[in-house]
Amino acid sequence: MNKVGFILKDYLVLLMILGLALVTAIIQPKFISPANLNNIMRQFGPLILVALGMTFVIVGGFIDLSVAGTINLVAVVTITLIDPLGQVGALIAGLVIGSICGAINAGLILTSGATTQAEALFITFGMSTVYSSLALIYSGGSTFHFWDLKEMPNMFEAIGAGSVGPLSVSFVIFLGALALLWIFHTKMAAGRAISLTGGNKTAARLSGVPIERSIVLIYTIAGFMAALGAIVLFSRVTTASPVIGAGFETNAILAVVVGGTTLKGGKGSVLRTVMGVLLVILLNNCLNLLGVSSYMQWAARGAILVFAIWLDNRKEVQGNQL
Amino acid sequence: MDTAGSQIILSIRDVTKSFPGVRALNGVSIDVRRGMVHGVVGENGAGKSTLMKILSGVYKKDTGTIVFDGKTIDHTTPYESMHRGLAIIYQELNLVNSMSVGENIFLGRFKEMKGMRGTHAKARELLDSIGCKVSTTKLVSELSVSTKQMVEISKALSFQSKLIIMDEPSTSLTGEEMSLLVKIIHQLKAQGISIIYISHKLEEIFDFCDVVTVMRDGNVIDTKPRGEFTRDELITKMVGRTIENEYPERSRQVGETLMEVKGINTRKLHDVSFTLRKGEILGLVGLVGAGRTETVRAIFGADRVRGHKVTIGGKPVTIHNPKQAKDAGLGLIPEDRKLQGLVLPFSVEQNISMASIDRFTRFGFLIKSLEKGIGARHVKSLGIKTPNTKVAIKNLSGGNQQKCIVGRWMEIGPSIFIMDEPTKGIDVGAKYEIYLLMKEIAEKGGAVILISSELPEVLNMSNRVLTIYDGRITGEFDPEHIPADVIMRAALGLGGAS
Amino acid sequence: MNNLYRLFTQQKAIVAIAVILLVMVAAGGDVSRIFFSSYNLLDMLNSSTILVILGLGVTLTVIAGGCDLSIGGILVVSGILSIQLQNFMPMPLALVLAVLFGTLVGFFNGFLVVQQKTEPFIITLGVGLLLTGVAQQLSDAHPVPANNPDFMNISNGYQFGDGQFTEGHFPGIPNLVIIMLICFVFFAWLIRYTSFGRNLYAIGGDYDVARYSGINVVANKWMTLVISGTMAALGGVLLSSKLNTGSAIYGDFTALVVNCGVVVGGTSFAGGVGGIWQSVLGLLLFGLLDNAMNVLNIPSWYQMMLKGTVIVAILWMDSYTQKRKRELV
């Protein structure tokens, strides 16, 4: 295996991002207009937050399909709590609910002794259904709007549409979350424990690394970040429906894997996920500008996911031959 | 040679095989004659298993020629060799546990057997021919090791094998089962079938082998009819050096009781209790699956156990998970290095530091410079051969990987070090260094619990030996004064002083 | 106690079915009467058929140590294709092509899972996602109506009767039930009496041993995914015929429910164990659950929650029993 090949594989995502941006800019000059760039920055919001949380789950050697359900539940509960609890109270309640959803997932996985990604996949999918149905039952299937509230929730409006200098508020939230999670993962003992858990659960456990704590942490972080994503999401559209989170779990996994975090666990980084999300957003943006239907975009994302998983697997196979 | 009369069935000429960093076979030549039991002896790592895997087609040879039954074999697969009449019975048996005995014998030949009825009928015939009474519809997972071997032999016979290779078949057999195997070997021989019998037990070699080949470090040292070998000659040729410098001098500073274990009961263990003294190396001897590994895993909190009591230094301790074990001053080198010990994609440094993360953590943050120091210190003191500490551990050789795991625990400095097969699959030089380490730990006032499938290793290193059979402790011995065969009898559940 | 534990863990499907039946008996009155009416029981069987047909194919992949989560995507695309293709060609040809589409996807899955050795759970999930997108594109995210009575008749017709439920009159057997029975018998034979079937158990039980025994592991395992894709497509065509429409939304849940049903029956993701009978029981459980919830008039969102809970509970049990086995306490 030569060096060029390695670099190509490792930075394939980056190259793809650049290539895609270049091609779109040539075909559709509107791409580099300030309005569109601003648009891209705004899109960074919900998906990246959810994907950052998902990164930990995948680095820890598991997977979480329940984030869509969590987003649905948090969105409808938070918006309806704004009137009784006030904005800050509702925000906190939303984040707590998301974390609890994650903790429940972790509890189920721990108590059942599930150790494989496959087991986690099925259990969290089941839980996604449960959370989604709770959202539907709680909301009675109806959609809630900001303008139906007693007064306009200015804090959530700011989260959705406000700016800090040249940056949107949601972008600032993203930067903050990224910094905290990056420090947590690379600089803190608990973050290292998560990586070790993903690298080899048995070896980590036999070395006294608290893998149970890692499992609780990764799912709670994923739940918390999903809740944060849900809040940014409904703030942006000023509306919360009980099906608002559909598709987020697969998009988040897509972003993580496309970024280059391996599904085998152990190796990965939140920074890689940022690249992955950038690629997914750019792709959507390009396809939009190029006039591709949204359904075809869905298919394109599926195709890229399949390709990225395949590539991840190839990398692993070749790495082992060393 | 007096055996020259009979025809050569298998001729191996100048076969070499290299793995990255290791020359496993170095121009090996062996002739096997029809109707003979050909013993192949050698220590672990001598190249016996590699040679057999080349014969069966699991590995490809680098150079050399192999002629079997008059045909030159260049490239083969396990399936082709079986059809040619060359069967191999591995130590780790090649059966599908979730399927029936009959179906296992005719695995992949369902059509040839004309369905389920034919499969079971033919399997019955084969099993009967070697005097095995097991039902053909029983699941393999429910069989004993000895019966599984019978199934393997039946499978070999089903291919009209001309040569059957048995790789250390006696490792997990009781005496009675062994004599049945010997009877079958004689019967096969009478039918003109050749057998390559791999073992490191000299009794067996002298008992029924016709010709003996000695291998060491990837070379054939000598091939002679059994009668021309003396016992001492065989041993000398096997180890290539005098026995004395294979193991360091036993440490002799055994002090007061350090740990006391009372009443471990699980589905596999029955009332296991013992004590461990300061400065002691305690050997656990038993067959694979007798409960050796289960015992230490229970002590270490790796498996769930009910109502046992452990006291360390006179104080009762509660150990429900490995973390608590670590905090109580225990360390463990697990049985399976790759699956239970190493985090393969991670660096040497991170693998060494992973048990002692607390030591370089301040307020939850990792201090990388301290971690680097830990890695570098153990790489140096243990003589781990690696370009630098940032290399992924999967690139190191087995011995060096094992040393990293030792280093991982040395950083903690456990007072009780449990080593489960610490020298499995590592070269002789590295083994000696690990022996020295064990001794050092003991002499510094710690204690070591040693499990090994290599009896000489346990007997030469330990101050005291416990035998385990079928989940019970069957004896306690002083290996310096009690002969090995008495200890082995106890380990085989045949009664003994206790 | 021990026997009870074994019953609960190994015969989850039978226990769960018994529980549901007991609840329906205990409910008494009109509920029991409606539930146990021949009309309802036949209807339940009829509505479980498509799940069972999908499950037959998936069972093969799971026995061989794999899994197929793309069946939901295949189901919807084939369902839509079977209707849309009729605009360009005669119906039988359209149906054959729609089923062959599933075969093709199965072949592609096999390439990724077996030949390229990727993790089956995630890669087939990705393929399913891709196909759902394709289905939405094809249908423009709207239901695609069919307007061919012959097509509708495939799934809704009856044999040996006219399908009328009146007192003292044999209504006949629904076509779907007959198709399911044929598939069931075929698969039961395939898995028990052919070398292909037996090889799958060997492959799932111990991949390397199977390989060393000369079984063509790649071809056989590949074939399971081809079959499972084909069965999913057949299920999609039958579903479109039954509902007389094709739509991209029907596949959402299916892949998971089917794979879960297979596991409930006793075919484990660990591979090498299980069988057709067990899968059918596991899948009938979900048909029964749906039906019972409908008869009990449980609102749809609560049904969804109940079903999610059942899935989690069952998979939790599957993992837990494996953990118990590992621990040997």
Beta-ladder partners of A183:
none
Provide the shortest C-alpha distance from residue C48 to chain A (in Å): 20
Question: Does residue C298 belong to the interface with chain A, where contact is any CB pair within 8 Å?
Answer: no
C168 by Cβ neighbours in 10 Å (0-12 / 13-18 / 19+) ranks as exposed
pLDDT tens profile B141-173:
888 878 888 888 888 888 888 999 988 787 667
Domains B8-242 and B246-329+414-491 share a fold: yes
**Between these two residues, B202 and A318, which has the higher pLDDT value?**
B202
What is the mean predicted confidence (pLDDT) over B72-82? 81
Put simply, whether B150 touches C (Cβ < 8 Å) is: no
Put simply, whether C260 touches A (Cβ < 8 Å) is yes
Q: Chain C contact for A114, CB < 8 A?
A: yes
* Residue from the list C193, C198, C329 with its beta carbon closest to the beta carbon of B304: C329
Q: Chain B partners of A204 at a C-beta cutoff of 8 Å? A: 343, 354
Q: Which amino acid is at A232?
A: V
CA B384 centroid distance within chain: 24
**Contact: A192, B357; criterion CB under 8 Å:** yes
State the Cα–Cα distance between residues A39 and A252, nearest whole angstrom.
Answer: 19
- pLDDT value, residue B92: 67
| Tally of residues, chain C | 329
Residues 96-135 of A with CB under 8 A from B: none
Residue C278: CB partners within 8 Å, gap ≥ 6?
Answer: C13, C265, C266, C267
Nearest residue of chain C to residue A111 (CA atoms): C320
Regions in chain C scoring below 70 on pLDDT: 1-10, 252, 325-329
A266 Cβ contact list (under 8 Å, min separation 6): A59, A61, A195, A196, A198, A199, A200, B343, B345, B346
Most confident of the ranges B16-20, B185-189, B230-234, C250-254: B185-189
Cα separation values, A103 from A55, A70, A211, C318, Å: 16, 12, 14, 21
DSSP state at residue B425: T
> Which of C32, B320, C246 minimizes the C-alpha distance to A210?
B320
Chain A neighbours among B 381-420 (CB < 8 Å)? 394-395, 408
Specify the CATH architecture of the domain C12-322. Answer: Orthogonal Bundle (1.10)
Q: Would the pLDDT of B242 be above 60?
A: no
Cβ–Cβ contact B248 with A under 8 A: no
Across the interface, do A266 and B345 touch by the CB < 8 Å criterion? yes
Residues of C5-43 as b/e, b for ≥16 C-beta within 10 angstroms?
eeeebebbbbbbbeebeeebeebeeebeeebeeeebebb
Tokens of A35: 């309005």
User: A-chain residues within 8 Å CB-CB of C121?
Assistant: 117-118, 121
- Given this model, what pLDDT does residue B496 score? 44
Tell me if C116 and A310 make a contact (CB, 8 A cut-off). Answer: yes
Q: Do C121 and A118 touch (CB under 8 A)?
A: yes
- Distance of alpha carbon B368 from alpha carbon B357, whole angstroms: 10
Look at residue B244 and tell me whether its pLDDT is greater than 60. Answer: no
* Domain boundary assignment for chain B: 8-242, 246-329+414-491
Residue A46 has pLDDT above 50, yes or no: yes
The strand pair at B472-477 and B464-469 is best described as: antiparallel
β-bridge mates for residue B17, sequence order: B25
> What is the β-pairing status of strands B257-264 and B163-167?
unpaired
**Domain B246-329+414-491 class?**
alpha beta
Domain residue ranges of chain C, discontinuous segments joined by +: 12-322
Q: Which two tokens stand for residue C51?
A: 């799940």
pLDDT of residue B495: 57
* Tokens found for residue B389: 């500490």
* Nearest residue, CB atoms, C137 vs list A263, A295, A317: A295
Backbone angles phi, psi at B303, to 5 degrees: -120, 160
Q: Are B417 and B326 in contact (CB under 8 A)?
A: no
Residue B3 banded pLDDT, cuts 50, 70, 90: very low
Which chain A residues touch C132 with a CB distance below 8 Å? 298, 302
Express each pLDDT in A180-192 by its tens digit: 999 999 999 999 9
- At position C234, the amino acid (one-letter code) is L
Q: Please, which residues have CB within 8 angstroms of residue C12's CB and are 6 or more apart in sequence?
A: C264, C265, C266, C282, C314, C317, C318
Query: Cα separation of A94 and A71, whole Å?
Result: 10
Distance from CA of A273 to the nearest CA of B (A): 19
Residues contacting B418, CB < 8 A, separation 6+: B296, B299, B300, B330, B331, B332, B333, B448, B449, B451
C61/B367 Cα distance (integer angstroms): 48
Name every residue whose Cβ is closer than 8 Å to that of residue A86 and which is 6 or more positions away in sequence. Answer: none
Q: What residues in B contact C209, CB-CB < 8 Å?
A: 94-96, 107
Check if the beta carbon of residue A169 is closer than 8 Å to that of residue A104. no
Q: What per-residue confidence (pLDDT) applies to C98? A: 96
pLDDT at B1 over 50: no
Q: Contacts of residue B297 in chain C, CB cutoff 8 Å?
A: none
> Span B191-217, mean pLDDT?
84
d(CA B494, CA B176): 10
Q: CATH fold of B8-242, please?
A: Rossmann fold (3.40.50)
Q: Which residue has the tokens 């006039």?
A: A291
Q: Return d(Cα A50, Cα B136) in angstroms, integer.
A: 55
Tell me the nearest-neighbour CA distance from C153 into chain A, angstroms. 31
CB contact under 8 A, A199 and B322: no
List the one residue out of C167, C163, C164 whose CA is nearest residue C176: C163
Give the CATH class of A45-312: mainly alpha
C-alpha gyration radius of chain B:
24
Chain A residues near residue B361 by CB distance under 8 angstroms: 189
pLDDT of residue A316: 58
Q: What pLDDT is stored for residue C10 in this prediction?
A: 66
Alpha-carbon span C286 to C298, nearest angstrom? 15
pTM over 0.80? The answer is yes
Q: How far is CA A23 from CA A28, A31, A282, B433, in A?
A: 8, 10, 11, 61
Q: Cα B231–B237–B240 angle (5° rounding)?
A: 130
CA–CA gap between residue B396 and residue B390 (Å, rounded): 12
How far is Cα B157 from Cα B153, in angstroms, rounded to an integer?
Answer: 6
| 3-class DSSP state of B383 | coil
pLDDT, position B427:
66
Helices A211-237 and A154-161 cross at an angle (nearest 10°) of 100
Using one digit for the tens of pLDDT, what is the confidence trace for C26-43?
A: 888 888 888 888 888 888
Whether residue B156 lies within 8 A of chain A, CB to CB, comes out as no
Question: Do B96 and C198 count as a contact with CB atoms less than 8 A apart?
Answer: no
pLDDT of residue C187: 96
Q: Give me the mean pLDDT over the B454-477 stretch.
A: 88
Tell which residue, C69, C11, C23, has the closest CA to residue C232: C69
Of A117, A300, A305, the CB nearest to C121: A117
pLDDT for B21: 57
Residues 6 or more apart in contact with residue B50 via CB below 8 angstroms: B17, B24, B25, B59, B218
State percent of chain A over pLDDT 90: 52
Question: Which pLDDT score is estimated for B385?
Answer: 83
Reported as type and span, the H/E element at residue B318 is none
The domain spans of chain A are 45-312
The tokens describing B63, both together, are 């150079």
A293-301: average pLDDT: 81
- Judge whether B439 and B253 are in contact, CB under 8 Å: no
In the three-class reduction of DSSP (H, G, I as helix; E, B as strand; rest coil), residue B447 is classed as strand
Facing residue for C201 by CB, picked from B77, B98, B306: B98
Report the percent of chain C where pLDDT is more than 70.
95
Contact partners, residue A213, CB within 8 Å, separation at least 6: A190, A193
Are residues A310 and C123, on separate chains, in Cβ contact within 8 Å?
yes
Mean predicted lDDT score pLDDT of chain A: 87
**DSSP three-state, residue B217:** coil
Cβ pair B280, B416 in contact under 8 A = no
- If one counts every other C-beta atom within 10 angstroms of the C-beta of residue A190, the result is 16
Q: Which residue out of A64, A122, A202 would a mutagenesis test of the C interface target, given it has the greatest number of C Cβ atoms within 10 Å?
A: A122
Question: Above 50 in pLDDT, residue A52?
Answer: yes
Question: ∠A220-A225-A227 over CA atoms, to 5°?
Answer: 95
Q: Which segments within A20-150 are labelled E, that is strand?
A: 144-145
Per-residue pLDDT tens for B41-54? 876 667 887 888 88
Q: Is A237 on the interface with C (CB under 8 A)?
A: no
Identify whether the C-beta of residue A55 lies closer than 8 Å to the C-beta of residue A268: yes
Q: Is pLDDT of A4 > 70? A: no
Which residues lie below 8 Å from residue B34, measured CB to CB, with a gap of 6+? B6, B7, B8, B9, B162, B192, B194
Rounded to whole angstroms, how far apart are CA atoms A152 and C237? 50
Place of tokens 């690298």: A199
Reference C192, options C109, C111, C278, C295; nearest CA is C278
B452, B422 in Cβ contact below 8 A?
A: yes
pLDDT in tens, B340-396: 999 988 999 999 999 999 889 999 999 999 999 999 999 998 888 888 888 888 888
Strand partners, B41: B199, B214
Cβ partners under 8 Å of residue B64, min gap 6: B12, B13, B14, B15, B16, B27, B28
Q: Are strands B330-333 and B416-420 parallel, antiparallel or unpaired?
A: parallel
pLDDT tens for B415-429 read 999 999 888 767 667
Task: Return mean pLDDT, chain B.
Answer: 85
**CA-CA distance, C46 to C174, in Å (whole number)?**
7
Mean per-residue pLDDT, A15-40: 80
Tokens of C274: 């299980």
* Pairwise CA distance, residues B74 & B64, whole Å: 9
Residue-wise pLDDT for B267-322, tens only, equals 888 899 999 999 999 999 887 778 889 999 999 998 888 788 999 988 999 998 99
CB contact under 8 A, B115 and C212: no
Gap between the Cα atoms of C27 and B256, Å rounded: 70
